[in-house]
Structure 1
């Protein structure tokens, strides 16, 4: 759609129509004045001057009135745009203007609508980000304080030698070690997550044979799964090439496989599928679970510090693992979704094929 100078053309046409209408009126009045002065016996210079001024004002008025009528819609539209811009400036983000016509004013209205919606989107994003930061601080405080309180408590018991035997002393030391490891894991995953959120973080993208990488990873984990009474079955389509950061993607897969080993029903079969569908590569991790889920609870599993019921019971999870996986996949312009169907927990990763 070509809009260049379209509004100017309309204005010039309106001016021309108004001008020729005024000229036509002037010609008509001149003709009438000729007959009037021809029949009049008394004509003074004042009469002629007054008549000429009156004709001039009448012609000028007709020009203005006709031009205003022709441009009335545009003037009202400009007024409406100005009013809406003022309302947007006062904070009514997301407010839009009705787009009328196909000229520069309609293009201006479209641009203002885009600006308004984009400002609303960014404002909401900033507000959610701020709320997310507040939640993150609250959750960090809680998750760090829990193991730290235990560590401090048992260290005090050891310092005061408040244990009944050497075996109990060793048990206290073991608990301190376990809590310290969890605290270290939490801090490391928190650091990794905040790093992924940084706008300065860049993926090291390269073309990789995804099929070959997954096959190799499955072969490495097969023996480990057998030790957990889990049979690993995988069906991977050959020669699927993706643009990925290999290190980050392996981290995603290892995190998912690690979760399966922790929380899958034993004994059971674990399936890993990878196939092409149109211009996408879909990877599915499927396993039976001990505790049933509903879809609402699944939707929260990829939120920061949210863990499943069984994970909550033993607190083996920091609640950041799936959040990190989801963020890595999103940085690869893909999606990570979780579904539960008839006792099976499914993690579905969708990525664009190169």
Structure 2
């Protein structure tokens, strides 16, 4: 921070030295020319002439007044003149100093302007110019990110509103048929009831996603940590997701080093793994294997979920952990989510002091969660 002001301090010191030099030269010039130099006689004659004509003094009285006022108080007049000269020079120098604040003020005002031009300040304020441009770029990026997030949120609301309307319309239609056709065959009635129940479950899921959005925006993450057996948790996870794996012929293989424990909030960490695993299942090829691996390296525990499927484009890979981002906005209403799963997982992992990342190639996609070891 001190080095930032080095150039400005040097410039101000040079200006102060210049003021002192100018004052000394001016004082010497006044003393040499006006008091003891070539202008002394014309000045004395002018003063005596003034006393004779204006003050009505005789020549000798005017000459004596000049001697008492000027010649006997030469040092006082010299000091007074020098002080006045310093004040004048200091005033103009102060005006030069205040221009720096003027330039900074213009730079601060430029932060409010929506312009692609960088803020420019004098060379001695280069450090302030860089900082203002960093702030300007940061504010512009935040505004852009907020606008994009708001747009994605609005799109999400539209998606969910449409998705809710679809199962609701089906439920109302099938219930109307059941109500109107009292003598409907039992087999057909059971079919309609089953479809209505499925649509009801889908409607419940979408409504829960609306609540999820509200909780994610308003609720801070509070952790209740305990020692967790990671092998047991991941094995249980694979068993619980078997109904989702089976329809596509997928399998989950868990490979975890024994006795790996992590100090974390069990419920929230399970939610992280659930969200990542759901994502892996949704985007894996049919009849493929999802590998869940965990190992301890130094002071970190790394848990990875590897699946084979369509690669995630690099430009989307950097955004999948953002709130309300859907990797595929065209996914069907039966599989499309609110775009919150990975964002929530990221928040929870960060609250634990860890990181979450993803890499994707044509062959596989790997999500890795890194957490501190049990202390």
Band the TM-score falls in, shorter-chain normalisation? 0.7 to 0.9
**Distance in 2 separating the partners of 1:89 and 1:232:** 53
Q: After TM superposition, give the deviation of residue 130 of structure 1 in Å.
A: 2.7
CA contact (8 A) 1:26 1:59 kept: no
Q: After TM superposition, give the deviation of residue 43 of structure 1 in Å.
A: 1.0
Compare 295-304 and 277-286 and name the one that shifted more: 295-304
Tell me whether 1:206 sits opposite 2:246 in the alignment.
no
**Distance in 1 separating the partners of 2:26 and 2:2:** 36
Partner of 1:30: 31
1:85 aligns with one of 108, 130, 137: 108
Instruction: Give TM-score scaled by structure 1 length.
Output: 0.72
Tell me whether 1:337 sits opposite 2:369 in the alignment.
no
**Distance in 2 separating the partners of 1:128 and 1:309:** 15
1:148 aligns with one of 158, 164, 168: 168
Paired residues for 1:154-173 under 5 Å: 154-161=174-181, 165-173=185-193
Q: 1:117 to 1:278 in 2, by over 3 A?
A: farther
Q: After TM superposition, give the deviation of residue 135 of structure 1 in Å.
A: 1.6
1:189 aligns with one of 191, 209, 226: 209
2:156 aligns with one of 124, 132, 136: 136
- The root-mean-square deviation of aligned C-alpha atoms, in Å, is 4.7
Partner of 2:63: none
Q: 1:66 to 1:38 in 2, by over 3 A?
A: closer
**Distance in 2 separating the partners of 1:298 and 1:37:** 84
Deviations 1:30-79 (A, max 9, x none): 22232325666971314989xx99xx99996797569857985x555433
Partner of 2:335: 317
Tell me whether 1:351 sits opposite 2:370 in the alignment.
yes
**Distance in 1 separating the partners of 2:135 and 2:154:** 28
CA contact (8 A) 1:93 1:117 kept: no
Q: After TM superposition, give the deviation of residue 195 of structure 1 in Å.
A: 1.0
Partner of 1:287: 307
Q: 1:64 to 1:12 in 2, by over 3 A?
A: farther
**Distance in 2 separating the partners of 1:8 and 1:260:** 59
Q: What SS does the corresponding residue of 1:203 show, helix, strand or coil?
A: coil
Compare 124-133 and 214-223 and name the one that shifted more: 214-223
Paired residues for 1:44-63 under 5 Å: 44-45=46-47, 46=50
Residue segments in structure 1 that go unaligned for 5+ positions in a row: none
Q: 1:179 to 1:26 in 2, by over 3 A?
A: same
**Distance in 2 separating the partners of 1:128 and 1:41:** 79
Residue segments in structure 2 that go unaligned for 5+ positions in a row: 52-65
Alignment length (residue pairs) = 339
Partner of 2:45: 43
Partner of 2:196: 176
**Distance in 2 separating the partners of 1:269 and 1:3:** 58
**Distance in 1 separating the partners of 2:187 and 2:17:** 104
CA contact (8 A) 2:284 2:308 kept: yes
**Distance in 2 separating the partners of 1:280 and 1:94:** 44
Q: 1:255 to 1:316 in 2, by over 3 A?
A: farther
Deviations 1:67-95 (A, max 9, x none): 857985x5554333222223334455995
